Every structure is written in structure tokens, then in C-alpha cells.
Structure 1
Amino acid sequence: MTQRFSDNVQFDYEIVVALGSAWRQGADVGEVLATASAVADAGGQEWFDAWAALGRRVREQADRDAGRGHSVSARDAWLRAAGYLGTALVGVDAATDPDKRLAEVFPEHRACFDRFLAAWEPPAEPVAIPYEDMSLPGYLISPSGASDVPGRSPTLIVNNGSDGPVSTAWTMLGAPAVARGYRVLLFDGPGQQSMLFEHGVTFRPDWEEVITPVVDFLLARPDVDPARIVLAGISQAGYWVPRAVAFEHRIAAAVADPGVTRVVDSWWHNLGPDLRALWESGERDTFDRVLEGALAEDPALAATWRWRAKPYGIEAPSALLAEVCRYDLGPVVGRISTPLLITDPDGEHFWPGASRELYDALPGPKRLVRFTEAEGAHRHCEPMGRALFEQRVFDWLDGFVSPNGRSKVTP
């Protein structure tokens, strides 16, 4: 479990995520390991090229299978292709002409995922969720045989993180929920994937203004049980989910994987104490000069910074960090009454200690679930412990929404 696949911390983590997604057929272990070996010491350009090439190769095979009537092979390959193309985009800001490459590969990624969901049984329903003066794109995915079950279904809203592809949101949360009888809503919120790349809509800290329209949309449907809507989020959604349920009280239970109290803590963890001290001194012009100088000397760090900053739509470092500081649960945590499960994995490298801090601050029903290195379920979002994650988290959620029809209980 101490095996490293890349000297680049972000790339190493993405490889582990890809390996873990094999549990829900989002990748093939051999394909991932072969590509990881080829890019072990590579920079962003080589990373992007290798994963994009793999994704396109798998997509081409899926298309051939579909043309020959091999529907299961085609469906599964489209999902893998979507995942690999999404993995390529992690390195896009280190590639030459990143805007052009993003404009090429992101539509390919989404087209593969669309074809996967169209081949699902029953086919997923593309939806447009009314939001302010526009709409949020999403998918409503039902379990097999859902049309044969009378009544309204429990529904899981999947809240993606800051920069992960929708295919990862599917393998981490959507697929296990559908397997357990939930209807699942996947969507892109402000700053996420299509809303950012195609519409230029950036993040917002007041995520209740996103989730409330999502809940309104679901409640207008005749196939959704209004008493059995749950919300689960991964990575930075560990902030957005608690923030939303502090104001939106029509959700039966929620999951934050992991807990996030202050989003900016993950930035300070990577920038170090000296830059933080300079920021806190109030010398913002000096801070910008020093940080911009460091980014100019380290192209890999600069590419990671651009990728992380992109969803906020702010270029100046001090202005960006001032915005990220607004993503703070402290002022609203006392309003949270929705039952909330928080994961707490060993080796959490973005927000170490935040899950326990959030758990201790919650005034209402709560559960803290540990995932350890000894059981192979450590690191941010438990990438290699998906079976354990599903067992512990969905057993808890099932107690609130009873997807199998048993009478509802409150664990």
C-alpha cells in the first residue's frame, strides 16, 4: 500500500483513483497499470497524451462492439473510455495549447459517458435542472426493474467535488446507489465540468442556492419520494454538502466524504507556512510577487495551480485565496440538523483533521466513520477501499430511506 506510481503527487493519486474505479467497471486494472508505467516519470504533456490515447483506443473498440451488436462490451468500454479521458484532463494545463486540448477532449469524455448511460438498462434520462436564468445539466439513472416497482423511489443526489469527472462521481457514488435500488441524480453544478468548461460558470460558496433548486426539481417528479431524498458528496463536496443542509432541510440524510470545515486549508497545506505567514501579514502585493515567482520557476506547480484555480475564475493569487477563504462552515455549522455521516480516512492529504473537527462541531445527528491504512481504505476519498466504503456508508443511508421497502428506521 506504500507503492507510488508517479513522483507527481496529483498524478499518483489519480492513478490510484483509476485503479479503485475498477470495482465499478470504470477502468481495467491492466490498462491502468500499463499506462501508469509508461508515464511514471512523465510531465503533464506526456500524461495528457498517454491517457487521451488510451481513452480514444478504448472508445474506438466500444464503437466497433456497438456496430457488431456486442452491447454489453460497448457499454462497459464507453465507461472506461470516459474515465481515461477524464484522467487525461488532470494534466491539460501542463500541455501545449491547453485551451485547445480541453475543448477537444472534454466533449469526447462526455460523449463516451453519454453513450454509456444511454446503454444502461433502463437508459438514463438526461435532465435540465432550472437554476437562476439557466439550467444545470444532469442525468437521472434508475435501477433495473424500477418501472415494475409501484410507488415513488428513494433518490440519491450525487454532489461531485472540485475537478473530478462525472464518470468518477458515478463509480464512487452513483453505481453503488443504483445497485442498492436508489434512483440517482448526477449533475454539474457551478464550476464543475460542463458548467465551467462550456458555460464559464464558476464556483459559489453558498451551495444551498444550488441544492435547493435540485431538490425542487426532484420534488416536481411523480417518481421521487419526497421523504426519501438523500445527498452525498466527494472531495470538496465535503464542504458543499454540509453547507447545503444547513439551509435545505428537505433532505433525509447526507454524506460528506471527507468532512471539510475550511476549503482554504487544503491550499495552505500545499503552499507552506512561510507563504501563509506572508498572507496573514496583509502584504498582499508582496504575496502575489513571491508566489508568482515560485510558479514561474516550477512549471508542474504552475500547472496544478491553474487547474485548481480554474473553477474559481480568479487569476491573482491573493484575490483567489480571499475568495477560497469564504468557503468556511464555521458561521453555519450550528444550523445543521440533517443526519450527517462523515468519513475520516487515514492519510487524508487535502484536509487532515477536518472530518473530526466538523463532527465535533455538529449539533445534530451524526456519524464519523473511520477508514484505515491497515484495511487498505486510507487516503482521500478511500480510492482503494471502495467495497468497504459502500458497505459502511450505504448501510447507514439505507436506514433512513429503506430502498428495499422495509419500514424506515433512524440509526
Structure 2
Amino acid sequence: MERRHFARSILAAAGAVALGAKAQEGSPAAAAASPAPAVAGLKPFLFEKDETFWYETLRSFGHIAYGGADFGEVVVTAQRIRGGDYDSWHDEWRLTADRVAAEAQQSLAAGHHVSARDAFFRASNYYRSAEFFLHGNPADARINAAYDRSVECFRAAARLTDGAIEPVRIRYEGTSLPGYFYRAAGKGAKRRPTVVMHNGFDGSVEEMHYVAAAALAERGYNVLSFDGPGQPGPMHREGLVLRPDWERVVGPVLDHVLARPDVDPQRVALLGNSLGGVLAPRAAAFEPRIRALIALDGIYDMGVKTLPMFGGQREVARRVLTAPSAPDIDKALAQMAAHDAQARWAFSHGAWVTGKGTARGYLSTLLDYHVADGVAERIQCPTLVCSAANDMFFKGQPEMLYAHLTCPKTFLALDDTLGAGAHCHAGAQRLAMARIGDWLDATFATPARRAATA
């Protein structure tokens, strides 16, 4: 009886929960009755009827800012794709990636290293995009084929940066995590301020180059970017699934970076992107070696995406979602996915990266990704909480995180008037990183510099 009741609630909330924001804005019925907001407040000129495909296209547009794409390449690729067709998405992005990678190889063979580097960076990002929607079938050979090429192209580009980007392996629980160390640009002190950073639910460490790593390295910061469990490197290579106790991931990463002679241990920041907006705060709550925190964008409790379907009761939700058998719930979630593009993708990808194998199992894990119950209040370092006005995934979450922080804190809201209202400010990478970089400069400034600029 209980499961049938909640199955009806799920159907009433169809489209209101995946990773989407609508689930937290009232009852399931109210959420279902509310019209879906326009993605990022930017009028789509591609995939007008598919907000998921549009957002992923906007994501590539955003990566133009730091060399991850070119406008015409993105447009002509997107125009060839059939809306909602995952195979078409893969095939067309793979075609573009192969063409750009071949051009990179030709430039390299001819000794044109700058042209080769730029093309390898773009090809890497296009390969990343190609396999993005295929994770509903983890055995699909196209996934690793495109992922491997993404990494190969990125490392080819890194080899052409005169040592500015160095691939690293970070010891972690009997294995290692993949990452890249970026040497700070310019001349300065032997020990430099350093930003450790990671992506979230679906992005790769290679993608972090276009999100934040290149931007902060050019501002004089060392950067150590890495993939943790559940993120592409460890997931593709070893099947290491996502985990909520992120301090156990960040701890070994800090051990690695603080062993370097060019890192100032008093100026180490942690930046978490997308779902990293809850993972990084969780780590900072238990890791005193983190001296500044950036949540891009901030998340307080992923459970609120699921709880409205269960009357707001976390333990009831946990009991129902983790039951050995719940055919009514499974059927309702399947129907939701069939009618909602966000749910379709999030359920398939989430089932894979959490290791649960089902939409219901994935939703059960969201209950554990939070900084509630006093965790946020444990954070002591200065914290920047970023917020995108029309975030299609986490709207309202940055405000919740900010309200619970008791440390020195800053709230950075970017909206549609700036072209920055999309999730993680996709499409406004230069602006977002200017604001974030300026905050970090001020946070890590010396007392003398603070006095001089006051």
C-alpha cells in the first residue's frame, strides 16, 4: 500500500525530480502544475524543445572561452543532431571530434605546435560530449572509445604547453586517481597559492581545464585538478563509484599537493563544480588544511530533490527506495523518464556512477549527499557560494548552503542579464572566473596588500 501511494506521488511529480530544481519548490502536485522554466533564461536557438540537449550545447559554447570549442564547430555539429536521439548526439559529436583531432595531428606533423595544441584541446572536449548520453548501457563500446580519445587528445595538448600542465597520479585507497598539475603562470615566490578542484556528477577532470583550471593558472595560481570516485577516470577505468564522504577523497589529494615544494600550505583552496558544490563543502567541513572554499554552484542537500515524493520524510524515502522489490515505484520512475528528458538522462547516468544499477537505487543515494545536520556549520575557512539565477538543476540550493554557513562567507549571484544564469554559469565562463578569481585574490592577499588596497 505504501509503495503504491508513493508511486502515485512520483507520477504526479513527473518531470519534477531528476537532478532538477522543481522538486524542492513545493508539493509534487504543485511542481507538476508549474510550467518548466526556460533553461538559463537564454532563448534556445538550437534544440528549442529539448532543454537537456540545449543545456549540453550551451555547455560547449561556454567552453569556447578557454579553448574547449569553437562557435561554428558547435553550431554545425548541433544542427546535424536529431533532438532527443542519443545515438545521433554521439555520432555527430564523434564525427566532429575525429575531424578536429585529425587536423591537430596534421598540424603537429608539420611542426605547427600552437595550432596542434588548440585543436587537441577542442577535440578532447568534443569526444567528452560524444559519449555523454550513452551511460544507460555501460557495456556500450562507444563509451570507452570516445572517453579514451578525449583523454589522449587532452594529454597531447598538455605536452604542447611547455610543461605548464603535468599529468599526475594521486595515491588513493590501494589505487590512484588521475589528475593534472598546472604550474602558476608568471614569476613569483617559490611557493604559490594553489587551487585543488574537481568536477561533479558527470564532468571530467579534463573538462575542468575549460571550467576553471586554465583561468586560475593564468592568474598566478597552481592548480591540481582530479577525478574522484564516480567521476570519469576512476569510473571508466576501475568502476569506482561515487561516494558522499568526500573528505576521504580530498584528504589523499591534499597529501599529494602539499608534498610539492612549489605549494604554499597556508593558501590552498578547494573548488567543487556542479555536484562538487556539495562534495567540496562536505570535504571542507572535515579538512582544516583547506584555507578557502568555492562552491560552483552551492548545494546544501540533494535529498530535497527526492523528498517531496515521500512527504518530506527522509527515512521513509530511504526505506521505500532501498526495498528489495518495489515494482510500482520502478514503473512510475520508468514512466517519468519516458516523459521527461532530464529524468531520462539523470536516472541512466546516476544508476551507473552510483553503482546502484537502477533509477530507484540512484535516487536512494541522493539522500546521503548533503551538508545538513550541522555539517555546513563545521566549515571554518572563507567560503564563496556561487548561484546561477536560472539553474535548471539546483535552483535555491546555494541560498540554503549560504544560510547555514557560520564561517566568513560571500554570496556570488550571476543572472540572465549577464548571460550567466545557467547551471554553473555555462556560457559566461570568463565573467564567472573573473568574479571567482578576484574573490580568491582578496581572500589570499597578504595583510600588507589588504591595507594597500583598502
CA contact (8 A) 2:388 2:420 kept: yes
Distance 1:267 1:35 in 2: 35
Output the amino acid matched with 2:390.
G
Tell me the equivalent position of 2:298: 259
2:132 corresponds to 1:132: no
Distance 2:330 2:376 in 1: 35
Q: Aligned-residue CA RMSD in angstroms?
A: 2.7
Tell me the equivalent position of 2:154: 113
Tell me the equivalent position of 2:429: 386
2:286 corresponds to 1:244: no
Q: Cα distance, 1:8 vs. partner?
A: 2.7
Tell me the equivalent position of 2:100: 58
CA contact (8 A) 2:280 2:293 kept: yes
In the alignment, structure 1 segments of 5+ residues that lack a partner are none
Q: Cα distance, 1:241 vs. partner?
A: 0.9
In the alignment, structure 2 segments of 5+ residues that lack a partner are 1-41
The residue matched to 2:410 in structure 1 has which SS? strand
Q: Cα distance, 1:229 vs. partner?
A: 0.8
Tell me the equivalent position of 1:162: 201
Distance 1:342 1:383 in 2: 16
Normalised to the residue count of structure 2, the TM-score between the two structures is: 0.83
Q: Cα distance, 1:288 vs. partner?
A: 3.2
1:330 is aligned, of 372, 379, 389, to 372
Q: Are the structure 2 counterparts of residues 356 and 287 from structure 1 closer, same or farther at C-alpha, using a change threshold of 3 Å?
A: farther
Tell me the equivalent position of 1:213: 252
Q: Which runs of 4+ in 1 moved over 6 A?
A: 274-279, 408-411
1:74 is aligned, of 116, 126, 133, to 116
Distance 2:72 2:359 in 1: 40
Answer with 198-207 or 131-140: which moved more: 131-140
Percent identity, aligned pairs only, is: 32
| Cα deviation code 1:168-197 (max 9, x no counterpart) | 211111010011011111111111111001
Output the amino acid matched with 1:383.
A
Q: Are the structure 2 counterparts of residues 213 and 190 from structure 1 closer, same or farther at C-alpha, using a change threshold of 3 Å?
A: same
Distance 1:267 1:175 in 2: 35
CA contact (8 A) 1:78 1:112 kept: yes
| Cα deviation code 1:247-280 (max 9, x no counterpart) | 1011121100111111244467xxx858989974
Output the amino acid matched with 1:364.
C
Q: Cα distance, 1:205 vs. partner?
A: 0.5
2:397 corresponds to 1:354: yes
1:291 is aligned, of 332, 347, 354, to 332
The residue matched to 1:167 in structure 2 has which SS? coil
Q: Cα distance, 1:143 vs. partner?
A: 3.3
CA contact (8 A) 2:347 2:359 kept: no
2:413 corresponds to 1:374: no
| Cα deviation code 1:26-71 (max 9, x no counterpart) | 1000100111112152500000000011111100100010000000
Distance 1:407 1:8 in 2: 49
Tell me the equivalent position of 2:37: none
Tell me the equivalent position of 1:344: 387
CA contact (8 A) 2:382 2:443 kept: no
Q: Are the structure 2 counterparts of residues 22 and 297 from structure 1 closer, same or farther at C-alpha, using a change threshold of 3 Å?
A: closer
Q: Cα distance, 1:9 vs. partner?
A: 2.3
Q: Are the structure 2 counterparts of residues 176 and 297 from structure 1 closer, same or farther at C-alpha, using a change threshold of 3 Å?
A: closer
Q: Cα distance, 1:386 vs. partner?
A: 1.6
Tell me the equivalent position of 1:312: 354
Distance 2:139 2:313 in 1: 33
Answer with 169-178 or 312-321: which moved more: 312-321
Distance 2:386 2:345 in 1: 29
Q: Cα distance, 1:321 vs. partner?
A: 2.1
Q: Cα distance, 1:400 vs. partner?
A: 2.5
Distance 1:190 1:140 in 2: 19
Q: Are the structure 2 counterparts of residues 40 and 372 from structure 1 closer, same or farther at C-alpha, using a change threshold of 3 Å?
A: farther
Distance 2:129 2:448 in 1: 40
